[in-house]
Each structure stands twice: as C-alpha cells, then as structure tokens.
Structure 1
Amino acid sequence: MVDFSCALKLSMPVTVLSAMRECQDNHLTVKGGKFLEAIADADTIVFDKTGTLTMATPKVVDVVTFSGNDKDEMLRIAACLEEHYPHSIANAVVARAAEKGLEHNEMHSKVEYVVAHGIASTIEDKKVVIGSWHFVMEDEACTIPEGEQDKLDNISKRYSRLFLAIGGELSAVICLEDPLRPEAPDVIKKLHEAGFKNIVMMTGDSKHIAKRVAKKVGVDSYYAEVLPEEKAGFVQQEKAKGHTVVMIGDGINDSPALSEADCGIAISEGAQLARQIADVMISEDDLYKLITLKELSGLLMKRIRFNYRFVVGFNLGLIALGLLGTIAPATSATLHNGSTIALGLHSMTNLRREDNERG
C-alpha cells in the first residue's frame, strides 16, 4: 500500500527535533518547534538595550552627592537596597561597594520593588527610594536640594544614571558606564541581511543615551524612557499589523514583551524570570548566536518543504506507476517503506552540514 501519511508523520517531527538538537549544540535552548518557525517567518525584532545590545556588566564610574552627603555612605545605602533584586545595574552597584570594602548589613525595613522603576524602603524612619528619574523625581515627588540644580545639570549625559533620595530629597546620583557589545553593530547588519525589515531598540534609559546607542548599532528605530507595559504594547501593535515579532531581552522589565512576542529570546546572564518566560534562551554571552538561530530556523523550514515535496512527488509517482501496471503492488510497498525510512534518516542529519554540502 502507498500513501502520504507515513513519511510525513515520521519525517516532520524528526526534522524539528533534529533542528532543536542542533540549536542546543550551538548554545541555543529552544522550547518548541513552533518558535523556530516563528523566527524563520519573523520580519520584526525588538531589542532591549541594557544587557542585550550593551554588556551585561555595567560599572559605576562616579557617585555625585547632594546636601553634603558622603559618597561612600550613599553607595553603601544603594548597595544595601539593590542587592535584593539582582539585575545588571544592581550588580554593578553591589560590586562597586564590595570593591571599596563597604559593608552594607541590613539597615532597612521591608524592601518594595517597583517593576521598571526602582526600589523603596525605610531607613531610620526616613523613606528611601532608588531608581529612575521618573520613579524618584516624578512618581515619588522628591525634590532637588536648594542651590544644587546646576550640579545635577552638569552630570554627563553619556552615563546611565541611578537616582537615590532620602526623606523626599535627592541625595545622590550614581553614574554607570554601560559599554556597547563589540559585536552589536555587525549583528544588526547581519540581521538586516537575514531578512529582518524592522529592527527596533526599546529602553527605559534617557533619550540621549538611547539615541547614541541606536546610532552606533544601526537599528531602524528606537524608543526611550519606556515602561514594561509599553514594550509589550508595541509588540502587540506590530502583531496586529500582521508582522511576526521576535523580542530579545534579559531583565524582569522585558518579561511582558517576551511573553507577547511570537518568539521571546532571553540571554543566559539575564533575570531568572525572563529566562523562564522566554521561548528561546541563548546560553552563551554572544549576540552572534541570533544569526545562527535565524539561519537554523530558515534551514529547518527549507528541509520541511523539501520533505513535503519529496513525499508527495515520490508517492504520486508510485501510485501512477501502480495504476498503469508498470510495477507490482509489492514493489510499490517496498519502495514506499524504503523511502520513508530513508527520509527519516535524512531528517536526522545536521541542517548546516547539508546546506554546506549543497553550497
């Protein structure tokens, strides 16, 4: 007996599982074949900035204090708060305090983490908040000490800034250098060549920093000072327009957008929540793995199409020859079963190796 179902039922899942194994060999953990299909079809990719296009290890370069506060004391308080919610910026603050030998034993009450904004707690009956300008100066309505506006204005805009306020008054600004990944511009260029029509960067950082990074890496557009729900909203908006969207990020702030995307990608150094929500995880600190992922996804779909055409064409030929009486039914069945096994074995081979051999 000759039909189409045997070879298709065998070869398709084997092909997908083989592709997922090859991804794993390249430090890419894929949670399902449908995500490889989404990546192959994707025309839009959204990047978070911090820890994704930039290094996952920013460094504290300065602590600017107000109202005569001591730099080390402000850094100590910041580290005491930030150690509870580790992410790249928090890790940088804690690491700098450790470098300076500053002990920061628990000196506060319960710590509250406000996603994408910052941290709030109480020290010596005074409310302490640390985070973005929006959180500290707008949401919490903290004030700038009298006569120190110029000091704030003169802080270099090339740095990412973390604002610390105690008792409703700005106490310090922690300046961090967030260097660009050296491979980022080339990766963006290669993603364009691979078929992405719209490459977007979204960040909670300032417009000045976002513009500088966007220009260096070569993204098509960028959005600054965005909240997690705004990232997720952008992904939803692009999907509603008919685009297939990939989102890549590393922090808790990226989790809503990662879950909304057709395929969410997390970097291994990122927050645990982001890794859990993401559909694909890059377990090596290398953005070039995105190119590998796009390539393998495309090769997977190419093999699936080849298998389908082969199964339909070969078995139609057997049926036609059988109807014409050219070959016996037993011969048709033997050829059918043999082709099914051969196709299954072929589907187990590495995608890139086969593509290189054909090339």
Structure 2
Amino acid sequence: MIKWINTYKNRITALSGILIALGFTLGTLGYATAADYSLILATLIAVVPIAHKAYLALRMKAFSIELLVTIAVVGALFIHEYTESSVVTFLFLFGDFLEARTLEKTRSSLRSLVDMAPQEATILREDVQTVVPVEEVAVGDRLVIKPGGKIPVDGTIVKGQAAINEAAVTGEAIPANKSLDDKVFSGTLVDEGYIEMIAEKVGDDTTFAKIIELVEEAQESKSKAERFLDAFANYYTPAIVALSIIVYVLTRNLHLAITFLVIACPGALVIGAPVSNVAGIGNGAKHGVLVKGGEVMDRFSKVDTIVFDKTGTLTKGKPEVTDIQIVNDAVSRNELLRLTAAAERISEHHLGQTIVKYAHHHGLETAESPTDTEIIKGHGLKATVAGSRLVAGNRKLMAQAGIPISGSAESYAVAREKTGNTVVFVAIDGTLAGLFSIADQIREDAPQALAEMRKNGIKQIIMLTGDNRHTAQAVAEQLGLDAFHAELLPEDKVRFVKQLQADGAVVAMAGDGINDAPAIATADIGLAMGEGGTDISMETADVVLMADKLLQFSHAYSLSKATMRNMKQNITIAVAVVVILLAGVLMGSVHLASGMFIHEASILAVILNAMRLIGFKRKKVFSPS
C-alpha cells in the first residue's frame, strides 16, 4: 500500500487537479450536481495518501499535520463544502510535491558528491591492464590512471606525474601537481598526465567514501532548534485539535472550527529549521568543509575565541631543513644526517620526518633500523643507531638527558629561532653533536582568513604550540595574534582550552587532528585541517577542512552564522504566517481554501529562503598587510 501510494502520489495529485477543474467548469455551465460529484471524487482521491500518512503517524503515537488535514476534510465533506475539501487536499498534495522538489535541490551537494564516486578501475598485473569494478580493487593493487580518468581509491603514486583536480575532496578547483610518493584520493580527477599508484585504502575506507558518509550523517542530525520544534509539534498538534473543538463549542460554527484546524497546521514551522540545516551543510560539503550536523553548526556560530596550533595550521606544514650546524668535530655533517634520519624513521612528528626526507633527497642511506627506541612526547626521541646512542629533540630533552649545551651552540640556536626556524638538538653518546634548523612558512591566506574571522565576530585569536618561544613569537607578531603560548605538551593545550572556557569564552580549536586531538576534543568546536583529511581528524573534530586552506575555516565560520540566521528567519516567517492566518480566521476574512493556499505558500517561502544558503559565499575582507 505504502509503495503504491508513493509511486502514484504525483499522478493522484494531477488527477485531483483535473477533477477540480472539471468540477468548476461543470458548475459554471449550470450542472451543479455533476460539479459536486466531480469535487467529491477529487477530495476522496486526494485524501487517500494524506489519511494514510496520518494513520501511520498515529500508529507511532504521533499527531501529524496530515491528521489535522484529514479531520478538516472529513468535516468539510460533512457540511457539504465540496469546493473547499477538494481544494484543500489538492493544495496539500501539490505543496508536498513542490516541497519534495525544492528539498531535493537543497541536497544537491550531497547528490553531486555521490555522482562523482568512481565506478571502475584499471589494474596493472604483469604489464596487462584490466578494467574491473571499483569494488574489486584490493589493498596493494597497482592501478593505472590516464588523462581524464578518475582515481578509484586512496593510495600513493609510484610512477608518473599529473595535474589532479581534487575539488571532490578539498573543494579546490585549481588542479594540484602530484608526482612520485605523493598521496592521491578516491573521487579526484587526472586533468593532465599519467600515473601509476598503489592502492592503500579501498571501499568504505577511502577518504571520499568517508566524506559522503559524514555529510549524510550530518544532514540527518538535528540542531537544538530542530529538536525543540519536533517536541513542540508533538504538543502543538493535539492542542490545535482541542482548540478547534473549543471554537466550535463557543461559536457552533463547524466551518470556522474546521478552518481553524487547517490554518493552524505548523508545516512551515516544522520544516523551516531542518531545511536550513541541510542547505548549510550541503554548501559546506561543496566547498570542502565537513560540518558534522546541525548542533555543531549552532555551536560554531557562537564561537568567539579561536585557538590555533602553529605547524600545519597557521603554517603550511611542509617544513624544510635550512641548515645543519656541527658542534662536535667527532662526527661529519653527512654522518650526523644519516644517523639522525635513521633514528627519526620511528617518529611521526613532522620535524623528524622532515629530516628523514632531507637525508633521502641527498641520497644518504638510512637502512639501519634503530633499537632501544623511546619517544618522549612533546620533546623528541632516544634511539640506538649503528652502536651509537642518539638523543634528538628540544632543549628540555637535552636537559633531562644531562647533555650540556655550550654558549656558542645556544647563541646559534637563538639566532636561528628569531628568524622563524625551529632547532632540533642532536646528541651522540652523551655529547651534543649538531643542530638542525628547520623552517616552515606561514600560509599565504592566513592574514586574510584571520581578518575575515575577526570581522565576523571573533574576539580572540590565540596560538598554542609545542615549538620554541622565539619561533612562536615571530609567527604571532607577523599575524597579529592576541596571544601565544610556546613549548607546550598536548596536555598543556587542553589545560589552556579549559581555562578559556572557564573564563566564559566559546572556543574553537584548530589543529592537525593527531597531536592536537585532546585539545580538539576538549574545545566547544574542534576543527581539523589537512588535505584529504586523516582518519583521526574525521573522527575527533566537529568540523573538517579537506584542503590546507585557512580561508575554508573563514568560510565555515561565516556559513555557520548565515545558517543560524537563516533558520531564525524561517521560524519568524512561519510563526508570523500562522498568527496572521489565525487572526484572519477568527475575524472571518480568511477561508479554508485561501488559508490553505497561504499556508502552503509559507512552506515554500521558508524552503526557498533556505535554498539561498546553497549559493552562499563568505564576504571577503583583506587584511591591511
């Protein structure tokens, strides 16, 4: 029955409209009885899907809008108001049809994402290319992607280079140049070039699949306003039935009571909040911003303080070794680099991996596997390589290990730090051997993004970093931050976030989603940055930026405010229309059919208002610098 009604609902609506037009025509020609039969038939046909939905709601112990309309239509038939009974049912179904069509447009971003999902892959086995469904690709398969082809799974390039359009993942339309050892993501498109890749994540584990899943979940989740309106509707609907009975008892006017019943339907009120939520989240997905639901959007709009990690957030996260200073003649520069790179292979920290890449780039063999390894979180590591005991990290680690730092080495380190470098101290067998200077560049879009966020209501911008004080100060001064705190451990960042919250701030924490996961989870809004998005960032953060762009952060913040503003506009429109209509009913100036028309128009008004969010773009504000 349900399937039949859903299949033929649009045809039922069209047939009802035709019968109403026929009834009006027959009435005009003087065939009153035939006209009544036509209108009655139109009512009975159109009321079936409405009454069926009301019945299903009653079985779930819910009082729906369809129940109000069904009661009103039965009453109208009882008092022989065939014109109004037919017009009300037709308008309700036609309004439902228009709602479905316009709501589908609000979900266009998600639908376009799903349409981008790759269907086939070309696997290379023993120099033979075989096209298979993407579901058959396994981890470790070698894949070929030619110009114009979609990358079917996540993986690493092992041959070739290409300009890849990553808009489906990052929201960025400008192609990114990718070559050997670069990561590529499912759903992205090879504009130019040829690559071979090794599959690392397949099926539901790919970044693209997780994006679709997160957007689907987010669009189904509800804000506080939506949950309140749902609860309100459960009480409001039976209350309207009771009030219509009171109206009839007081006036003995069944027509007035029925009109009151229909006009008071809270349709626009119920749909106004969720449609704004869906449209806002869809806009975010289109621009590479994943907002995990209506409640997150609500909280995000109230943020007044933003806390940033430094590396990979305010900076590009692509540090480079700028200098290696030898302080102990017992070891050469190349030997120091080789041993340090071998030890740092066990580290997940960006500075350690920078040293490993630098050694690899210079052709230094790092085949030795370190032993007796110890990661000291927030400070560095200890390891034995080729019989030598290495300690690599910051000053605090050197102090803990009892390794003295000479005055000249300290002066060199401070001078490098004041120019924006991070210094890694390396000791071999208890003696300081050398210092690695590593620099990271501030993101080009950082000044503009921070200026836009201040313009939109952010009162404080603070940086918390594990880096040294001199480097942190250089970044903070360049970006005009309100405050910075350096040489922090992950637990220190959590403590700072909690203190800000205790002082009354609504805090958003932006980090890389790995080292900053505890602080991200503690903040009112946790935001993770990173091209492609790491697994932990998607799980921990409330908002995920799929590209390394701070301007996406600015867009997300502006979008949250626009979405909540739009939601409040819709609620205001809905309440105002109901109040005006009810006043018109009680004064006798609004009738059943005209009231139903205005009621349906109000539903379309809130949907069309919400659809403006699909094309929302942040207002650009350029920083003075």
Structure-1-length-normalised TM-score: 0.89
Change (3 A) 1:107 1:84: closer
Structure 2 residue 524 is matched with structure 1 residue 266: no
Deviation, structure 1 residue 126: 4.8
2:441 counterpart (176, 179, 186): 179
1:216-239: CA deviations, max 9, x gaps? 101111111122111111111111
Residue of structure 2 in register with 1:327 after alignment: 590
In 2: Cα distance, 1:130 partner to 1:9 partner:
60
Structure 2 residue 460 is matched with structure 1 residue 198: yes
- Worse overlay, 121-130 or 12-21: 121-130
1:313-348: CA deviations, max 9, x gaps? 001111111122222234434432442244235423
Does the 8 A contact of 2:511 with 2:529 survive in 1? yes
Where does 1:15-30 land on structure 2 (aligned, <5 Å)?
A: 15-30=276-291
Q: CA RMSD in A?
A: 2.4
Deviation, structure 1 residue 115: 2.6
Structure 2 residue 357 is matched with structure 1 residue 99: no
In 2: Cα distance, 1:87 partner to 1:6 partner:
53
Structure 2 residue 552 is matched with structure 1 residue 286: no
Does the 8 A contact of 2:306 with 2:507 survive in 1? yes
In 2: Cα distance, 1:127 partner to 1:49 partner:
31
In 1: Cα distance, 2:473 partner to 2:430 partner:
31
Change (3 A) 1:230 1:206: same
Partner of 2:516, secondary structure, is helix
Change (3 A) 1:224 1:78: same
Structure 2, unaligned stretches of length 5 or more?
Answer: 1-261, 620-625
Change (3 A) 1:185 1:47: same
Partner of 1:264, secondary structure, is strand
Change (3 A) 1:300 1:329: same
- Structure with larger RCO (C-alpha < 8 A, sep 6+): 1
Deviation, structure 1 residue 132: 2.1
In 1: Cα distance, 2:514 partner to 2:559 partner:
28
Does the 8 A contact of 2:340 with 2:390 survive in 1? no
- Per residue, is there more helix in 1 or in 2? 2
Partner of 1:350, secondary structure, is helix
Q: Which amino acid aligns with 2:338?
A: R
Residue of structure 1 in register with 2:226 after alignment: none
In 2: Cα distance, 1:303 partner to 1:117 partner:
47
Where does 1:1-359 land on structure 2 (aligned, <5 Å)?
A: 1-3=262-264, 5-68=266-329, 69-109=331-371, 111-124=373-386, 126-134=388-396, 136-144=397-405, 148-155=406-413, 156-157=416-417, 158=419, 159-250=421-512, 252-269=514-531, 272-353=535-616
In 2: Cα distance, 1:276 partner to 1:79 partner:
31
Structure-2-length-normalised TM-score: 0.53
Q: Which amino acid aligns with 2:562?
A: L
Does the 8 A contact of 1:44 with 1:197 survive in 2? yes
Residue of structure 1 in register with 2:134 after alignment: none
In 2: Cα distance, 1:79 partner to 1:309 partner:
62
Deviation, structure 1 residue 306: 0.2
Q: Which amino acid aligns with 1:286?
A: K
In 2: Cα distance, 1:182 partner to 1:48 partner:
16
Residue of structure 1 in register with 2:113 after alignment: none
Deviation, structure 1 residue 124: 4.6
Identity %: 32
Deviation, structure 1 residue 74: 1.8
Q: How many equivalent pairs are there?
A: 352
Change (3 A) 1:343 1:189: closer
CA radius of gyration, larger in: 2
In 1: Cα distance, 2:299 partner to 2:289 partner:
15
Does the 8 A contact of 1:143 with 1:169 survive in 2? yes
Partner of 1:242, secondary structure, is coil
